[in-house]
């Protein structure tokens, strides 16, 4: 029986490359000359720690990071930059979490969405992925198209297609 998995994963190497490219670009930009800018990636926790001189530079740093990550193939929805930066002395600090893995409530949303669509497939939650099985590959491809058009706010990948 044909099946595939819906996951939400971020490639650690692509994320590392995006952080490095952002660091290089920031050091070469005129508006950041002589400014205190720190950009570190915690690979275990998938958190990017940022420090700048002021709030405006922090926003610019986040924008550059997201655009560079998008060029590396990481969806902008993968970054949780909603938490405001806090001031610590003269510096602004901010932690940007990178969503890696499918949370249980997101998986439930996806399964409900697939079941409400009325397609002839079964969706089940296995840890941090949703497995979709059906009798025809065409039904599975319809699920992929349906999930791509649904705005869930999380980046999804469709892997492990089996016949």
| Sole residue written with tokens 């039904």 | 139
**Res. 20: pLDDT tops 90:** yes
Look at residue 27 and give its three-state secondary structure.
helix
Distance from C-alpha of 9 to C-alpha of 41, rounded to nearest angstrom: 16
Q: One fold for both 3-8+102-162 and 12-98? A: yes
3-8+102-162, what's its fold? Alpha-Beta Plaits (3.30.70)
**pLDDT at position 22, please?**
94
Q: What is the pTM (predicted TM-score) of this model?
A: 0.83
Share of the chain above pLDDT 90, in %: 51
- Does domain 12-98 correspond to CATH entry 3.40.1190.20? no
| Sole residue written with tokens 């399964």 | 111
**pLDDT at position 162, please?**
86
**pLDDT bucket at 82, cuts 50 / 70 / 90:** confident
The domain locations on the chain are 3-8+102-162, 12-98
| Sole residue written with tokens 């405001």 | 84
| Sole residue written with tokens 């939400």 | 8
State the DSSP string of 55-107.
HHHHHHHHHHHHHHHHHTT--GGGEE--SPPEEETTEEEEEEEE--S--HHHH
């Amino acid at each position: 029986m044909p099946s595939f998995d819906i996951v939400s994963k971020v490639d650690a190497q692509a994320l590392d490359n995006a952080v490095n490219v952002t660091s290089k670009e920031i050091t070469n930009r005129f508006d950041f000359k002589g400014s205190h800018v720190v950009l570190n990636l915690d690979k275990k926790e998938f958190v990017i720690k940022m420090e700048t001189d002021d709030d405006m530079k922090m926003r610019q740093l986040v924008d550059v990071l997201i655009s560079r990550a998008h060029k590396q193939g990481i969806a902008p929805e993968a970054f949780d930059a909603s938490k405001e930066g806090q001031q610590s002395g003269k510096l602004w600090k901010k932690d940007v979490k990178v969503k890696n893995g499918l949370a249980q409530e997101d998986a439930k949303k996806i399964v409900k969405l697939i079941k409400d669509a009325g397609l002839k497939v079964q969706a089940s939650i296995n840890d941090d992925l949703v497995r979709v099985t059906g009798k025809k590959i065409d039904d599975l491809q319809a699920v992929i198209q349906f999930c791509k058009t649904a705005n869930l706010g999380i980046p999804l990948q469709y892997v492990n297609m089996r016949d």
